Amino acid sequence: MTEKADLQPVLDRAAEGGRISPQEALDLYRSAPLHALGAAADAVRRRRYAGTEHIATYIIERNINYTNVCVTACKFCAFYAAPKDTAKGWSRDLDDILRRCAETVELGGTQIMFQGGHHPDYGVEYYEEHFSAIKKAFPQLVIHSLGASEIEHMARISKVSAEEAIQRIHVAGLDSFAGAGAELLPARPRTAIAPLKESGERWLEIMEIAHGLGVESTSTMLMGTGETNAERIEHLRMIRDVQDRTGGFRAFIPYTYQPENNKLKGQTQATLFEYLRMIAISRLFLDNVAHIQGSWLTTGKEVGQLSLHYGADDLGSIMLEENVVSSAGARHRSNRLEIIDLIRKAGRVPAQRATTYEHLVVHDDPVDERVVSHISSTAIAGGTAHPELKLLDAN
């Protein structure tokens, strides 16, 4: 363990872009002054994005929750229904899903996140049918969806290898994986909260296969279900090791556990300071991952703004629909004008990005915001948006 007095040279080395060890990351995460940690992470971000370091990005997407029926019964999850629970369980049909895609396009969305339970009947064929139908109707929408857990499940249902499952849904229309299901990768905390999920090693193995097949992904971490600081850093180490081999993780997205309506009820959430420290340490430790995303959905808008000064370069999405973390108590929502305003008030120039992080619209002129306002209100006043969208956009 590094003595407290010896932390500054480690912090300086990290700020200059030098690689730090897991033990050094743990020492910094535990003991470095919060603002010093943030300043080091911000220095790394500024250097990586020299020339565009004044910009922070967001994306417009829609989560499409296609079913809540799930056999995996994660203890932290407030969204799922067991297959026998027909009163709570539901699935959307293809027409409903296509209508939601149409609304996404109408409201300026560029990406959909297909997210749902591990339905006992949904194998590779289900996803092939749905992704090909979505791509046929809306070729402009990027399908950034699912993760290694869904691949493990659908491959088991269809009795094929993970490699075949990935190839088939990629051909059908999946563009990239959203990195769902990473939760906590080390064995102890993972087994404690998701005992029926594949191991962390298997999650990474499937991601590595996907990256090898040209399907990139993001990566995530669920904080605050009782894991130790050392286990959080071990999670980062596991991701960094794979990234050294594949380069396929586009981003890292930590987010905080929401404690309502699930079987872990009563356990503590990660504090907002712990969350900001994680944003900073992930920017310093994951020197091979390009993007660090602030996740305001579970931490709140102000903390999202702060994250942009602790190493994050992206504020994630304006979600036109989200039901999974909202079921567990996430209360924070935003519309497009608000997220532009949040980023601007955090001292950055907002830019709408594509899934692959290219800037689509840079809001460097206040006139832009009036245009956006007009588009946004026209789309909603036009009467074609689903009531849910009106509600979310009004918040």
Which one-letter amino acid corresponds to residue 3? E
Number of shown-chain residues binding ligand SF4 (CB under 6 A) = 10
Binding residues: 70, 74, 77
**Residue among 123 and 350 whose Cβ is closer to ligand SF4:** 123
CA dihedral 377, 378, 381, 387 (to 10 degrees): -70
Least Å from the CB of residue 229 to ligand SF4 = 24
Q: Under a CB-based contact definition with an 8 Å cutoff, are residues 304 and 350 in contact? A: no
Which one-letter amino acid corresponds to residue 32? A
Least Å from the CB of residue 149 to ligand SF4 = 6
| Position among 7, 43, 70, 154 found at the interface with ligand SF4 (CB under 6 A) | 70
Beta strands in the chain (DSSP E): 55-65, 111-115, 142-145, 176-177, 217-223, 249-256, 291-292, 314-319, 349-353, 359-362
Report how far apart, in Å, the C-alpha atoms of 71 and of each of 3, 33, 83, 158 are: 47, 43, 7, 16
What is the pattern of x (binds ligand SF4, CB under 6 A) and - over residues 76-105?
-x-xx-------------------------
Q: DSSP class of residue 190?
A: H
| Residues in contact with 204: Cβ distance below 8 Å, sequence separation at least 6, in sequence order | 148, 185, 238, 239, 242
Least Å from the CB of residue 68 to ligand SF4 = 7
**Residue among 73 and 102 whose Cβ is closer to ligand SF4:** 73
| Position among 109, 117, 186, 224 found at the interface with ligand SF4 (CB under 6 A) | 117
DSSP, collapsed to helix, strand or coil, labels residue 349 as strand
Least Å from the CB of residue 124 to ligand SF4 = 17
What is the pattern of x (binds ligand SF4, CB under 6 A) and - over residues 130-169?
-------------------x--------------------
**Residue among 200 and 350 whose Cβ is closer to ligand SF4:** 200
| Residues in contact with 161: Cβ distance below 8 Å, sequence separation at least 6, in sequence order | 155
Binding residues for [4Fe-4S] cluster: 70, 74, 77
**Residue among 81 and 362 whose Cβ is closer to ligand SF4:** 81
Least Å from the CB of residue 321 to ligand SF4 = 16
| Position among 63, 72, 167, 176 found at the interface with ligand SF4 (CB under 6 A) | 72
**Residue among 151 and 280 whose Cβ is closer to ligand SF4:** 151
Which one-letter amino acid corresponds to residue 46? R
Q: Under a CB-based contact definition with an 8 Å cutoff, are residues 277 and 312 in contact? A: no
351 binding ligand SF4? (CB under 6 A): no
Beta strands in 20-122 (DSSP E): 55-65, 111-115
What is the distance between the alpha carbons of residues 291 and 392, in angstroms, rounded to a whole number?
A: 27
What is the pattern of x (binds ligand SF4, CB under 6 A) and - over residues 258-277?
--------------------
Scanning 71-79, 91-99, 200-208, 299-307 for contacts with ligand SF4 by CB under 6 A, the matching segment is 71-79
What is the distance between the alpha carbons of residues 247 and 288, in angstroms, rounded to a whole number?
A: 7
Which residue, among 94, 157, 108, 139, has the nearest Cα to 360 in the 3D structure?
A: 108
What is the distance between the alpha carbons of residues 295 and 312, in angstroms, rounded to a whole number?
A: 9
| Position among 20, 26, 41, 74 found at the interface with ligand SF4 (CB under 6 A) | 74
Least Å from the CB of residue 80 to ligand SF4 = 4
Least Å from the CB of residue 153 to ligand SF4 = 8
User: Parallel, antiparallel, or unpaired for β 314-319 and 111-115?
Assistant: unpaired
Q: Under a CB-based contact definition with an 8 Å cutoff, are residues 14 and 35 in contact? A: no
Least Å from the CB of residue 72 to ligand SF4 = 4
What is the pattern of x (binds ligand SF4, CB under 6 A) and - over residues 21-60?
----------------------------------------
Query: Which spans of this chain sit near ligand SF4 (rule: CB under 6 A)?
Result: 70, 72-74, 77, 79-80, 117-118, 149
